[in-house]
Amino acid sequence: MYLLGHDIDCTTSGKKNVEKGGDSVQVYFWFSIVKWTGDYHENPNKEKGEGKMKKVSVFSVLVSLAIFLVSFGVASAGTLDEIAKRGELRIACQTQGAPFSFVDKNGERTGSSIDLCKMIGEEMGVEVKFLNYDWDGLIPALLSKKADMLAADMTPTLKRAMKIAFTDPYMYTGSVVFVKQDSPIKTLADVKKPGTEIAVLLGSTGENDAKKAFPEAKLKTYKGGGPLLINAVIGGHTDAGVNDGSAVRGQAASFPPNSLRILEGQLSKSPLAFAVRYDSPDLQGWLNLFFLHISLDGRLDENLDYWVNSLDWKKDH
């Protein structure tokens, strides 16, 4: 066949090279051969019927290439374009994760992550739609494309990064152990005793940290938010709880004063980040730039100082 000034041998499907000026352009195509009546190449050195190569019409090839290019154009449409056209950014989050994401006494969704997401929506010029999930439902919601991004106090572990793409960290925290105020447990060494029952959130970094730090303890997993762990400890259902330190301090403010005690020391130091799918590199890059801007203009520090590094938010929410 003769295509764009170059001879190409064509079979029913495959990969061929187009040579021009020393450059090799690989053209991938799958198509059905259009039979031209009485029109074919024949090898003169072989008997009739052997070595025949049916011709493919230029029209068929151009249609195939057109379909490919259209498909490529659709596939390359970015997530940011989709969000802009939709006019809405869909975010998977929790409602039991004070001070990051929770429903306050006025019945309004609020928190550090929520305020950051509202800033993101303002900068994008779109509405923000929050989708509520339990902790173990956040990643599935993102992967199933129900949400464009995930905004929670999530640690970007290597295991999670096998499935989802994290932004640059916007803050650092770590897992802590907390017990009931009058508990005989005084140190992390006491927690290591065999048989100690520890409350953890299913699929959380705290669960992994507890497994590593207290191999002889008995872990009781809870599905939901951090307050469930505090209830378990205060109610005497477990001896201790393990969760993100910022979350524990923020959520403890919703319980009676002096209900629990955080043991000295951290089990880990971990970054926190938002996340997107790996098919959304444009959104990931935009979010990284967003965090850079708000870290430089002071909005990030203002957010963390109010929500995470103090209990100032408690009087308002």
Sequence-ordered list of residues with C-beta below 8 angstroms from that of 182, at least 6 positions apart, any chain: none
For domain 175-262, give its CATH number from 3.40.190.10, 3.40.50.150, 3.30.360.10, 3.40.50.2000. 3.40.190.10
pLDDT digits (tens, 9 = 90+) for 34-46: 343 344 444 445 4
Which of helix, strand or coil describes residue 268?
Answer: coil
Between CA 229 and CA 91 the distance in angstroms is 25
pLDDT digits (tens, 9 = 90+) for 191-246: 999 999 999 999 888 999 999 999 999 999 998 888 899 999 999 999 999 998 88
Q: Among positive and negative, which fits the CA dihedral 84, 86, 88, 90?
A: negative
Between CA 63 and CA 192 the distance in angstroms is 69
The residues of the chain that CATH labels 3.40.190.10 are 79-172+272-315, 175-262
Q: How many helices (H) and strands (E) does the chain have?
A: 10, 20
User: What count of other Cβ atoms lies within 10 Å of the Cβ of residue 84?
Assistant: 14
pLDDT top residue among 218 and 56 = 218
pLDDT for 39 = 44
Between CA 264 and CA 186 the distance in angstroms is 9
Model confidence, pTM:
0.64
The superfamily in CATH containing domain 79-172+272-315 is Periplasmic binding protein-like II (3.40.190.10)
pLDDT for 238 = 96
pLDDT top residue among 71 and 194 = 194
pLDDT for 254 = 80
